[in-house]
Structures are given as structure tokens and as C-alpha cells.
Structure 1
Amino acid sequence: MGDELLQKVAGRFNTAVRESDIVARFGGDEFVIVLPDVRKADDVGEVAKKVIDEINVPFHLNGREVFVGASIGITLYPDDAVDAGVMLSNADMAMYLAKEKGRNRYQFFTPSMDDEVKRHMELERELRWAMDRRELVLKYQAVIDLDTGRMNGVEALVYWNHPDRGLISPDVFIPLAEETGLIGAIGTWVLSTAAIQAKA
């Protein structure tokens, strides 16, 4: 089903672009679209909107509706770079930030992104070590019945006690954990730690 979905996604891309444009699968669920002979940046933005609109229409696989989203990074030749490898890297950085802002967005590359993405990647690297270094901590928040004023239970919230940045709240690093696939391991740690603490 995954392969069939990728084929259908590629078909939608082809619907959104001109015959002279190039659509290529870059690996996994990443695609590259090359738009030759573009007069202005706004035209690229319009194509990105069309691609997102096409992808937002539900896909039908084995009698089921499947919903996917698209995050698009855009870089311009020769304004941003003249080397294909650098252009791909620029587009990747822009896509990274588009994902951070929420699904179904596009983002143009700007030179300032380089520093921002490097900080983001550094945080991702440190998050991978956080569990091994026992930097994650659980804090509990009471769940109150508003009618009776009584506490019905508690909600476990995971915080990251970063050695340099101090206590980082979940709203900062949980999206990063979801994006990088670390959320499963963190979720397992939260459940087992909460169970051990509840027993104690």
C-alpha cells in the first residue's frame, strides 16, 4: 500500500506541474520538482500551492480514504546557489522549517536558515542522548473535576532537563521527537517511569 500511495502522490505532482517540469522521487517519501523557465518567485509559490492542494485531496487505497500532507522547501537558481548539491541542501533546509511551522506549507530558502537549521539539528542530536543520560523527567499535573472540585487523577508531562539550557517544556521538544521518530522510545519511557512512580 505504501508503494501504491507513493505512485499516486507522484501522479498528483504531475497533475500540478507543467509538461516541461521534472518530478523525481528523491528517496523515502521525498520528491524533487524542478521548474525550468520560471520568470518570478511568485510563480513557484503558486505551483507549490497547487501541489499542496492536490496532495490534500484524500487518496483511495484498498477501499479506504488515506490523508497525507506535504511540506515544501523552495530554492531558486541562480539567486540562492548554482550548484545542484547546494540547491538540494537549501531546499531541504527550507522544507525542514516548513514542517516546523505545521503541515501543508511551503517555505522559500533564505541564507539565515543555515544557522537556524544547524541549531535544530544540534538539538535533535542532543535529544537522542537525553534518555541515555537520564535527562528526561516527569512532572504531574492534577486533573480536576470542575463540578465537584475534586482531583480525579493526574496527567504525566515529560520535561527535558538539559544540562546547558535548563528545563525544556514538552511543547518545545515533543514535535522534534515526533519528527525524528524518537517519540516511540520517549512514550515507552514515560509509561514505564509513571508506572514505577505510581507503584512507589
Structure 2
Amino acid sequence: MAFIKNISSNGLTDNELLVTYKQNGDVAVLGDLYQRYMDLVYGVCLKYYKEPETAKDAVMQIFEELVEKLKKHEVDNFKGWLHQVAKNHCLMQLRKTQKVKTVEFNTELMQSGENMHLDSVLEKEENFKKLAGCMESLTGDQETAIRLFYLDGKSYNEIVAISGIEWNAVRSLIQNGRRNLKLCMEKAIAAESTNDIYLTKEN
């Protein structure tokens, strides 16, 4: 995109650039990598904001976020991860302007079909209110692990250190908690849909 200076990629792969950035923290290297997918990020932002200038500003803001995010996250598929980061950024900014409380989901596990389905459910404005209730439906260590991982952005190892729960148990809690959260959201949406149909018939 014309509003960000082009940088030579030197023929390196995404993963090679990621490793280089993590090793030396050179923002120019990150800029090189980011440039490859700026059109993708801009497209996502334009979809949500509808205004080209606002979308361009968001592209720059997301780049600034990556400077710190990539120091904390292990990323195997940069393009897919970045796509999710861009969506999270736009959704969070839109919710802030509309004064609606939301959460930003950690993207490390947003790779499987189950996760992508949950993500698509959460994209819808009306579903964020249901999310709070479903989070409360999780119990004990499961809720703790989900909140630390998704809401606080903690890694598995950090959760182990904070909670004292073994690594394998943390992994299981997050997987099961995510599944329960997905089921709860689906039930809440289905119940609302049924109620809407009932009210329509009454009218």
C-alpha cells in the first residue's frame, strides 16, 4: 500500500523474518514482513470501518501492536494469525466507540475449524452480551484457565506459574473450556432464535 514505505524482503520467508525479528527486535524486519500482508489487513479494516482513511489509520495501529505482540506469542502461520489480530483490533475499537464491553480473544488457538466457528459467532454484535454469561457458566480451574489464556493473553507456561496447575492439565482445561464456551454460545443463540419465532407468531 502506498502509505507505507516499501522495504526489501531479501527473499526471506515469513518464518525467517519472524525469527530474525525475535532475535534482534529490528522494527525494519517486522515492517518488511508486515508489508507483505498490508493489503489483507487494509481489506479487513475497510470491511469493518467502511471508511478508507480510518482503515489506513488502523493498518498503522495494528503494525504498532505487532511490535510487542510478536515478542509474546509463538506464531506458526503469520498470515492467518495477522488476519485474526486485525479482526480483533477492529472489533475492539468499534466496541469502544459504541461503549459495549467486549473481550479480545488470544489468537494462538484460533486455527482449527472449531475455533474458527467460535470466532465467527463472536464477530456478531449481539453475541458479545451472551459471552459474559457463558464465561460465568465455566467452573473452577476451567474458567481460570480460559480467562488467563484468552482475556489476559497468558501463555501456557505463564498460566502454570500463576495457577500451579500442570502444563498438560492447563492445555486440557483450555480445550474443554473453549468447547463448553462454544456450546453455551450456540445454545444461547438458538434459544433467542426460538423466542423470536414465538414472538413473531404471537404478533
TM-score by length of 2: 0.28
Computing the radius of gyration from Cα coordinates, the structure with the larger value is: 1
TM-score by length of 1: 0.29
Q: Whose strand proportion is higher, 1 or 2? A: 1
Q: Whose helix proportion is higher, 1 or 2? A: 2
